[in-house]
Structure 1
């Protein structure tokens, strides 16, 4: 493959050099060679791939404001934007303060999603104590990581927090939405009961089963992309010297395809976006508002979005219409 690509027109890689932000002060220096494309960005491909984070974050923030999603998800998308912006600055400069912005914002955003997941349906006291606990955990991770300066600690902490919130959200989804697992208390809390009409109950059950099915497809797709990013990230670390050799053999721009950490950004960024959108949709379903909102996800090549259905009354007005009545 490299022999074939090396025959294509290309630009030779220059040697590593000092750049605008030299020297490197971060505890991590990834496989992309420093300042080989421009002196204004230490790792250009790793920097630019974070633009996907920023685009998806802006899309999510706009969706929350436009369609009235819960505030916690607006804050989550702002945190997601901070992750992408911090990573952009980190890879552009390879400075330790920017590394902390990148890595710790991942922890904070994941803690926020833990709060959104574990606080749902709980008392104010429980939610307050949970918030205090998660803030304390974030402060501990921040201080201990700064003391250790060991990236493995951050990676393990992030992995554990992500796994906890993911499995908890799956459990909440199943026991509250799937008809055969739904409790009598859950049905009794429905503000729009079907008054025991069997055909209406069957219609709602079918709707909820279809919702669960689509949610699992969304989870499987997003998780596959996310874990695929971890796999590419591992390969990039494990075979760095060989990848550098191949990139120099085939030259630019073809060598950019072998920047594994850049693929990590694209894949994990997409997977994380899927998770937040799933959380938005799940929250609306838990709030018995699944008839007011819908998931817009035409195919696997487009990113999903939860939008308010047209024709839904909002404060006396009809969404997407000037009509006064439905």
Structure 2
């Protein structure tokens, strides 16, 4: 007899939920109202608690360490993404869907401004701010007019990729130690005086910071890629995944909630 983990049977989806009817243009693979009369998608809703917690940690760190205000605004934006996604997956209402999706765009626009305003003059930052606000307004109006989720997904992906590549460029330009000058030093490779030792220490420090930054980038991009993969598998093989969830039961079926991983 094959080994089977102890589990509970999945409840049948509710006939009508508290927030019915569904008006959102996207309804995910998680079955609606199967666990609660008041929460349409339980896993997709409560996984946002992790997002809200991490955003709260970021806000506290920004205040504690007196980081530039733009990063505080970005973390507050992350918190709004988590809150709006929580409400959207609870209700599956169209206006809550817009709240969720557009908060993703606006927060990414804040990051766009942050990475491109680095080193610019006051006038340059003002012009960049006007451009970024105009871009956010265009995406908002056009998406609401078009009503096509793919447009939002493409714009979010383009903005995110732009922010990531620009951040990598700024990071490398700022922290990567320059190659040693030919003929510099006293011929024995040790340089001269305290200035040389101080410069060497600064380069080693920057190199360590750069390595840590690359480790965080790799971890973050890997997490995004895995979440995106699970989300798409959830969309493509939804009927099969729903059947597998019911076969293995709760709580193990929660692992197969692909959008929850995203």
TM-score by length of 1: 0.74
Any gaps of 5 or more consecutive residues in structure 2? 181-192
1:172 lines up with 2:170 in the alignment: yes
Give a deviation string over 1:181-209, Cα, whole Å, max 9, x none: 79xxxxxxxxxxxx981111111111111
Partner of 1:36: helix, strand, or coil? coil
In structure 2, the residue matched to 1:131 is 129
Structure 2 distance, partners of 1:135, 1:225, is 29
Give a deviation string over 1:31-78, Cα, whole Å, max 9, x none: 000000001000011000000111011111111111111110110000
- Contact persistence 1:16–1:33 (CA under 8 A): no
Any gaps of 5 or more consecutive residues in structure 1? 183-194, 265-326
Residues 53-64 of structure 1 mapped to structure 2, 5 A cutoff: 53-64=51-62
Residues 85-100 of structure 1 mapped to structure 2, 5 A cutoff: 85-100=83-98
| Higher normalized helix content (fraction of residues) | 2
Residues 72-221 of structure 1 mapped to structure 2, 5 A cutoff: 72-180=70-178, 197-221=195-219
Give the CA deviation at 1:96.
Answer: 0.4
Give the CA deviation at 1:15.
Answer: 3.2
In structure 2, the residue matched to 1:17 is 15
TM-score by length of 2: 0.91
1:48 lines up with 2:46 in the alignment: yes
What is the RMSD computed on CA atoms of the aligned residues?
1.8
Give the CA deviation at 1:29.
Answer: 0.1
Partner of 1:197: helix, strand, or coil? helix
Quickly say closer, same or farther: Cα 1:237–1:181, change in 2 above 3 A. Answer: farther
Greater shift, 124-133 or 246-255, is seen at 246-255
Give the CA deviation at 1:254.
Answer: 2.0
Greater shift, 250-259 or 231-240, is seen at 250-259
Quickly say closer, same or farther: Cα 1:55–1:250, change in 2 above 3 A. Answer: same
In structure 1, the residue matched to 2:27 is 29
Give the CA deviation at 1:235.
Answer: 0.7
Give a deviation string over 1:81-123, Cα, whole Å, max 9, x none: 0000000000000000100110000000000001010001101
Structure 1 distance, partners of 2:58, 2:179, is 31
Structure 1 distance, partners of 2:170, 2:5, is 54
Give the CA deviation at 1:221.
Answer: 0.9
Aligned residues: 250
- Contact persistence 2:14–2:37 (CA under 8 A): no
Give a deviation string over 1:122-178, Cα, whole Å, max 9, x none: 011110010000100000100110111111000000000000011011001111111
- Contact persistence 2:7–2:251 (CA under 8 A): no
